[in-house]
Amino acid sequence: MMSSSPAVSVRDLRVVRGGREVLHGVSFDVPQGSVLGLLGPSGCGKTTLMRALVGVQIVAGGTVTVLGDAAGSRDLRRRVGYATQAPAVYADLSVAENLRYFAAVLRAPRSDVDRVIDEVGLGKYRDQVVSTLSGGQLSRANLAVALLGAPELLVLDEPTVGLDPVLRQELWELFRELADRGTTLVVSSHVMDEAGRTDRLLLMREGRILADGTPEALRTRTGADDLEEAFLQLITERTESRA
C-alpha cells in the first residue's frame, strides 16, 4: 500500500554557491506517484535544487527529506535514480556494456539492461560505442542508467534536451507510465510546452518559487491561454509587487 507521506519534502532550503545565495528558502512537497515539473529559465536554480534532492549539494540551511530519509542517505542509493544534464556514461563502452556495468554497481537485475534499453528506444544501438552516438541518443543512454533498478524516485535534469518532438513525446509517455506504477518523478525543463504534461509545476526564477500548482490552475490564476504567457505574467506581477 502506498504511503500517504510525500515522496519529497523540502523546507526552507537555502544554498550558497561562490558566496552568492542561489536558493532562497525554498519549500514544497511532492506526493508519491506524481510528476513534478521544475520550469524556469537557465540559471534559475533548477539544477541546484535537484542536486539537493539527491544529496550531492552542500546546503546552507533547511531540510530535504526523500522517501522518509535525509537526502543523500546511504539507504537511498538504490531507491533514487538521477540523470544529470551532462551524460554520466563511459564513452569507450557500448550502450549495453555501460548498462551492464551500472547494473552491477547498483546490484540491479541483469534483465534490467534489456528493459531500460527498450524503454528509452535504444534497441538498435545497444552494441554501439557511446562516443559514436548522436546527442539525442547519448541523452537517452544517460536516462537509461537512471532507470536501472526501478527506483522509487527519479530526478531528471533536462532529460529531453536535444531530442526531436516524436522522441520527447515518447519519453513523456514513459514518464507517465512510470508514475502510474507508483514512481515519483521530478523533471526539470526550460521548455514551456512540456509543462502541461506534469501533474504539478514549480515555476522558478532567481532561486525562488514563483508559483506552485497544476498547469490548469496556473492558467486559470493568470487568465493566460498557455503556460509561457502565464509565466511571463507572473514575472510581471512579482516585479510590480517589489516596486
Task: Assign 3-class secondary structure to the chain.
Answer: CCCCCCCEEEEEEEEEECCEEEEEEEEEEECCCCEEEEECCCCCCHHHHHHHHCCCCCCCEEEEEECCEECCCHHHCCCEEEECCCCCCCCCCEHHHHHHHHHHHHCCCCHHHHHHHHHCCCHHHCCCEHHHCCHHHHHHHHHHHHHCCCCCEEEEECCCCCCCHHHHHHHHHHHHHHHHCCCEEEEEECCHHHHHHCCEEEEEECCEEEEEECHHHHHHHHCCCCHHHHHHHHHHHHHHHHC
Residue position matching grid coordinates 542536486 = 51
Q: Can you tell me the distance from the alpha carbon of 176 to that of 197, in angstroms, rounded to the nearest whole number?
A: 8
Question: Does 1 have pLDDT greater than 50?
Answer: no
Closest CA to 121 of 167, 59, 162: 167
At the top level of CATH, the class of 1-79+153-162+183-243 is: alpha beta
- Give per-residue pLDDT as tens, 99-127: 999 999 989 999 999 999 999 999 999 99
Query: In terms of pLDDT, which residue wins out, 186 or 150?
Result: 186
pTM, 2 dp: 0.90
CB distance 215 to 196 below 8 Å: yes
Question: pLDDT confidence of 242, banded at 50, 70, 90?
Answer: low
Residue 232 pLDDT > 90? no
Residue range 135-181, pLDDT digits in tens: 889 989 999 999 999 899 999 998 888 788 888 888 899 899 999 99
Q: Which pLDDT does position 240 carry in this prediction?
A: 65
Domain boundaries, the chain: 1-79+153-162+183-243, 83-150
Cell 536535444, residue? 162
Instruction: Assess whether pLDDT exceeds 70 at residue 203.
Output: yes
